[in-house]
Amino acid sequence: MSLVQKLKGNDNTFSQLAGTALSHVVHEGAKSRRIDVVFDVYKETSIKNAERANRSAGTGIHFKNIQPGHNIQQWRKLLGSSSNKASLIKFLVEEWKKPQHREKLEGKELYVTCEQLCFKITKEQWEEAPELKSSQEEADTRLLLHAAESGYKSVIITAEDTDVMVLCLGMCHKIPSHLFQKCGTKNRTRFLDITTLSRTLGGSVCDSLIGMHAFTGCDTVSAFAGRGKMTTLKQVKMDKTYQDAFHELGRSWEVSPELFEKLQEITCHMYLPSTHTTEVNKLRYELFCARRGEVESSQLPPCEDCLFMHALRANYQAAIWRRSLQSQPFVANPTDCGWMTDEDGKLAVNWMRGSPAPDAVMQLLSCKCVRSCELPKCTCLSNGLKCTDMCRLQTCQNKAIEEEPVAQQSDSESDVDDIEED
């Protein structure tokens, strides 16, 4: 899809767009005998789609039916919808199967994915490639399956994404081909020798990169504020404790207590390298006291509850990545792994299981609203809290409704009722 994003679609028909896209594909693989075009699959319920929704990816113009002769006017808005992208992929693949487009391939083989299926297209014909049929959702993982099944001595992967490089380093020891990654701009193109780099780093470090990348932040998992990847990467190279923890992350769909203890210790070192504290709650308290309360929340590590939910999400993403070479991998339900279903039935991040603070503290929170409590100004509403007696405005609609106590009858009143009934 990154190739499609680079196209200038305005004032072209969809048929012209398909021809231009195929020309770019053939040009990209001009020196190769085989070209694989791997697209994402746009599923309704998935962590990838939840992230696209957070980025307002569903606000584009929706096309119910893409016609070859339809003239494109708002190309960027069209690409703002996941359903449009799914329809566009189907259209491109069907167009590339036609004889007038197959002529561009000359002697090359083109493998292109469309949802779970994969098609082999040549100048003479097209056919389904059953060996590459896959239920994988991400193109980042599925392209590794194509590389492993290609049978070629060398494979060049064209991608700008950091996820792809990390995945290639973590999985290249299982792929018989020599892997290269092509990245950069037209004026400055670079070829990274992934296989040689993995040998230099060592198998243990490369295997840990998948877990490290997921835990320190990626497209679907949040990052630690002000804590980059390079410091953690240096520790992974030197410290076997880091390697063991990140090696284990993603092996199972669950996070064991032993693994979480290791992740807590790593998180403590991320915020204070010299500390001997191995529990994030204790370190939060120590840092708060050391700075006499003059500390921003972003300067403290997450509490144990939040860190555990973060570890679940990182483990879930790492588990998907570690199954890149499986055509039909089992994928657990994300609602059991750090996400939840919101009121609209969509996936959302489940940041914590418990309350953000004790009830006594929650009752002391207040907003400064004067006329009305409305989003986005009201800090109570923006944080999903009810207004309290400490708030400046005492007549808003966001105050908790107090239940009236039920009057209890005395023993004498009960006796009177019994006599009257008799």
Quote the DSSP letter at residue 121. E
Q: Mind listing the pLDDT tens digit for each residue in 289-339?
A: 998 888 888 889 999 999 999 999 999 999 999 999 999 999 999 999 999
> What SS3 class is residue 154?
strand
Q: Which residue has the higher pLDDT, 126 or 396?
A: 126
| 131 or 46: which leads in pLDDT | 131
> What are the structure tokens assigned to 138, written together?
């991400």
**Residues 95-105: tens digit of each pLDDT:** 999 999 999 99
pLDDT given for residue 415 in this prediction: 47
* Pair of tokens at residue 186: 């037209």
pLDDT digits (tens, 9 = 90+) for 201-239: 999 999 999 999 999 999 899 999 889 899 999 999 999
- Parallel/antiparallel/unpaired status of strands 189-193 and 178-184: antiparallel
To the nearest whole number, what is the mean pLDDT of the chain?
88
Q: What angle do CA 307, 44, 159 make, to 5 degrees?
A: 75
For 5-17, write each residue's pLDDT tens digit.
888 888 889 999 9
Domain ranges of the chain: 2-203, 361-393
Is 75:10 a contact under the CB 8 Å cutoff?
Answer: yes
